[in-house]
């Protein structure tokens, strides 16, 4: 049984209660916090978020939470980014031409699809293929699908940071990891049993890949 | 490749599950929380609650149902029925709904779509439309009109024009519900669904008329829908969610098969 606690970072980027409920379901006591010091001191951190990169970064700067996340990353705290949380951990996002946190080298780009039958956002369930084993993804089996909602996708500069890919008129990175930071473009909290299993693995992770 | 979704719709009245036939004659068929759990475990991709409670207690009842379901069902939850304001939408989101469906109130005041998109994100705003076939005329060049208030009030608005306006205002997804097909179990309105899906860039959920597994296949292929909504088919035990997905998978439709 996972023990300990986590802080879910609240930076005015969407509803965090569903993440909190899913954490509770796997035995992780997760408190929602908008306090930079609480984020800095957290045992582990979940960094979710939906919405636009630009306003999210403004909020992270204004509250000091952005700096706290960088400190926590450097001090080895296990961090799980989800969706927008993943996207703003890279250097730059095409969305609003935004400079982002830079925990992981790379950028975020918008889907440019040629098939008119493919919808934007990429919304629904898609298969996640693990390319590089990682403790947090250890229960993801070939063919397992996760729930996605996004119009932009991450493009890490270092191929070694790509943990998993999905396919939407071409393959894109849907999970990445570097040191004690791991992140998913999909929503584990809305992905049924396989998503809960991922959260449980994160709850047990010591931060070493 | 993205999977086509199978979505179950639970009409909730006074905290109980109800199912209407052509929007009238609703009858109670059980506990929505138990049904939600059953479908979740059976591989459902998404769940929609439609609140048809008429009493003044309506908001509290649906919030309780959503809260109870969100505590044990970890797939996207969508809630609609009587959403008139950003406050309604944010209350439902706090209770655990991912997406908010707007319908009649958005037809009366289209700015509601943009306000909700600003407040909760475009991808969480679902424009749900009740549509009826009419003789094409100047006001309804597509031959389909928008009807509101649970199918009672025709609005003199062309359905195709309304879907495009909804997309421009910031709807992230559309539910296309055919009033003519609703509750008949004779199949989805394929022509309507295809026309709308081809006219917008956002995902389209087909609703109304499913009675046989082949109807889902038809609307997800010929009808070009991204998702198929079912109700009576699974509520009365004639079919299971797992069975429907296996059938679609067997006929070559990409659906999520492991959960």
Say if residues B162 and B129 touch (Cβ distance below 8 Å). yes
Can you give the pLDDT at residue B54? Answer: 62
- CA of B174: which chain A residue's CA is closest? A119
Please report, rounded to a whole number, the percentage of residues in chain A having pLDDT higher than 70.
Answer: 99
B chain contacts of residue A20, beta-carbon cutoff 8 Å: none
DSSP A40-99: HH-SSEEE---S-HHHHHHHHHHHSHHHHHHHHHHTT--EEEETHHHHTTSSEETTTTEE
Query: Mind telling me how many Å the CA of A187 is from chain B's nearest CA?
Result: 9
Residue B51 known to be catalytic = no
Of B93, B224, B227, the CB nearest to A15: B93
* Cα B204 to Cα A39, B120, B177, B223, distances in angstroms: 39, 20, 10, 10
Chain A, chain B: beta-carbon pairs less than 8 Å apart: 90
Please name the residue that has the structure tokens 């800095």. Answer: A40
B2 with A126: Cβ contact below 8 A: yes
pLDDT in tens, B19-42: 554 444 445 556 888 899 999 999
ipTM score assigned to the predicted complex: 0.93
Can you give the pLDDT at residue B21? Answer: 46
* Residue spans of chain A under pLDDT 50: 1
Question: Which of B1, B2, B201, B202 should be substituted to probe chain A, the one whose Cβ sees the most A Cβ atoms within 10 Å?
Answer: B2
- CA of A168: which chain B residue's CA is closest? B1
Global pTM reads: 0.94
Can you give the pLDDT at residue B17? Answer: 75
B chain contacts of residue A191, beta-carbon cutoff 8 Å: 74-75
Q: How far is A77 from B20, CA to CA, in rounded Å?
A: 52
Can you give the pLDDT at residue B127? Answer: 98
Chain B residues with CB under 8 Å of a chain A CB are: 1-5, 40, 45, 70-72, 74-76, 93-94, 96, 98, 120-121, 123-124, 172-173, 201-203, 224, 226-227, 256-259
Can you give the pLDDT at residue B29? Answer: 56
Say if residues A93 and A84 touch (Cβ distance below 8 Å). no
Can you give the pLDDT at residue B28? Answer: 53
Question: Which of A48, A145, A185, A194 should be substituted to probe chain B, the one whose Cβ sees the most B Cβ atoms within 10 Å?
Answer: A145
Q: How many residues does chain A have?
A: 209
pLDDT in tens, B206-256: 999 999 999 999 999 999 999 999 998 998 889 999 999 999 999 999 999
Q: How far is A111 from A58, CA to CA, in rounded Å?
A: 24
Phi, psi torsion values for A196, nearest 5 degrees: -65, -40
A chain contacts of residue B163, beta-carbon cutoff 8 Å: none
| Per-residue b or e along B15-52, where b marks 16 or more CB atoms closer than 10 Å to that residue's CB | bbbbbbeebeebeebeebbebbebbbebbbbbbbbbbb
Can you give the pLDDT at residue B150? Answer: 78
- CA of A51: which chain B residue's CA is closest? B121
Helix (H) or strand (E) holding A162: strand A162-167
Digitized pLDDT (tens) for each residue of chain B, 259 residues in all = 899 999 999 988 877 777 554 444 445 556 888 899 999 999 999 999 988 876 666 677 889 999 999 999 999 999 998 899 999 999 999 899 999 999 999 999 999 999 999 888 899 999 999 999 999 999 999 999 999 987 888 989 999 999 999 999 999 999 999 999 988 899 999 999 999 999 999 999 999 999 999 999 999 999 999 999 999 899 888 999 999 999 999 999 999 999 9
B chain contacts of residue A32, beta-carbon cutoff 8 Å: none
B chain contacts of residue A167, beta-carbon cutoff 8 Å: 1
Among residues B88, B130, B158, B218, the one annotated as catalytic is B130
Of B121, B224, B227, the CB nearest to A51: B121
Phi, psi torsion values for B18, nearest 5 degrees: -130, 155
Query: Mind telling me how many Å the CA of B183 is from chain A's nearest CA?
Result: 26
A124 with B45: Cβ contact below 8 A: yes
Question: Which of B47, B74, B98 should be substituted to probe chain A, the one whose Cβ sees the most A Cβ atoms within 10 Å?
Answer: B74
The number of C-alpha atoms within 13 Å of B101 and in the hemisphere containing its C-beta is 24
SS (H, E, C) chain B: CECCEEEEEEEEECCEEEEEECCEEEEEEECHHHHHHHHHHCCCCEEEEEECCCCCCHHHHHHHHHHHHHCCCCCCEEEECCCCCHHHHHHHHHHCCCEEEECHHHHHCCHHHHHHHHHHCHHHEEEEEEEEECCCCCCCCCCEEEEECCCCEEEEEEHHHHHHHHHHHCCCEEEEEECCCCCCCCCCCHHHHHHHHHHCCCCEEEECCCCCHHHHHHHHHCCCCCEEEECHHHHCCCCCHHHHHHHHHHCCCCCCCCC
- CA of B37: which chain A residue's CA is closest? A192
A119 with B203: Cβ contact below 8 A: yes
Say if residues B187 and B211 touch (Cβ distance below 8 Å). yes
The separation between the first and the last C-alpha atoms of chain A, rounded to the nearest angstrom, is 20
B123 with A123: Cβ contact below 8 A: yes
């Amino acid at each position: 049984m996972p023990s300990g606690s986590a802080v879910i970072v609240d930076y005015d980027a969407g509803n965090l209660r569903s993440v909190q409920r899913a954490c509770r379901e796997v035995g992780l006591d997760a408190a929602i916090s908008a306090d930079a010091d609480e984020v800095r001191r957290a045992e582990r951190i979940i960094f979710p978020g939906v919405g636009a990169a630009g306003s999210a970064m403004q909020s992270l700067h204004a509250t000091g939470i952005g700096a706290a996340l960088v400190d926590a990353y450097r001090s080895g705290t296990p961090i799980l980014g989800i969706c927008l949380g993943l996207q703003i951990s890279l250097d730059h996002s095409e969305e609003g031409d935004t400079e982002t946190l830079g925990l992981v080298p790379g950028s975020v780009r918008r889907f440019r699809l040629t098939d008119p039958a493919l919808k934007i956002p990429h919304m629904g369930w898609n298969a996640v293929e693990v390319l590089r084993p990682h403790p947090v993804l250890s229960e993801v089996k070939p063919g397992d699908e996760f729930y996605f909602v996004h119009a932009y996708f991450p493009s890490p500069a270092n191929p070694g940071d790509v943990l998993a890919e999905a396919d939407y008129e071409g393959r894109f990175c849907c999970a990445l990891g570097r040191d004690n930071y791991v992140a998913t473009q999909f929503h584990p909290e809305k992905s049924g049993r396989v998503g809960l299993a991922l959260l449980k693995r994160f709850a047990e992770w010591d931060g070493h890949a | 490749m993205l999977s086509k979704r199978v979505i179950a719709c639970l009409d909730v009245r006074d905290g109980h599950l109800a199912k209407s036939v052509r929007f009238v004659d609703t009858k109670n068929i059980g506990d929505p929380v138990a049904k939600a759990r059953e479908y979740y475990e059976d591989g459902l991709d998404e769940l929609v609650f439609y609140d048809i409670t008429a009493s003044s207690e309506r908001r509290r009842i649906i919030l309780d149902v959503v809260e109870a379901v969100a505590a044990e069902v970890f797939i996207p939850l969508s809630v609609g029925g009587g959403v008139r304001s950003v406050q309604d939408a944010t209350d439902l989101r706090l209770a655990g709904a991912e997406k908010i469906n707007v319908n009649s109130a958005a037809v009366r005041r289209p700015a509601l779509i943009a306000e909700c998109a600003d407040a909760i994100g475009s991808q969480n705003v679902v424009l749900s439309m009740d549509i009826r076939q009419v003789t094409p005329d100047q006001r309804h060049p597509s031959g389909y009109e928008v009807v509101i208030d649970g199918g009672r009030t025709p609005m003199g608005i062309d359905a195709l024009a309304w879907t495009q306006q909804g997309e421009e205002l910031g709807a992230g997804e559309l539910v296309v519900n055919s009033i003519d097909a609703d509750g008949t179990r004779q199949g989805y309105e394929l022509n309507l669904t295809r026309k709308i899906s081809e006219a917008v860039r956002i995902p389209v959920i087909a609703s109304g008329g499913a009675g046989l597994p082949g109807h889902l296949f038809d609307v997800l292929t010929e009808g070009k829908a991204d998702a198929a909504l079912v109700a009576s088919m699974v509520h009365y035990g004639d079919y299971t969610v797992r069975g429907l997905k296996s059938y679609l998978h067997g006929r070559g439709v990409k659906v999520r098969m492991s959960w």
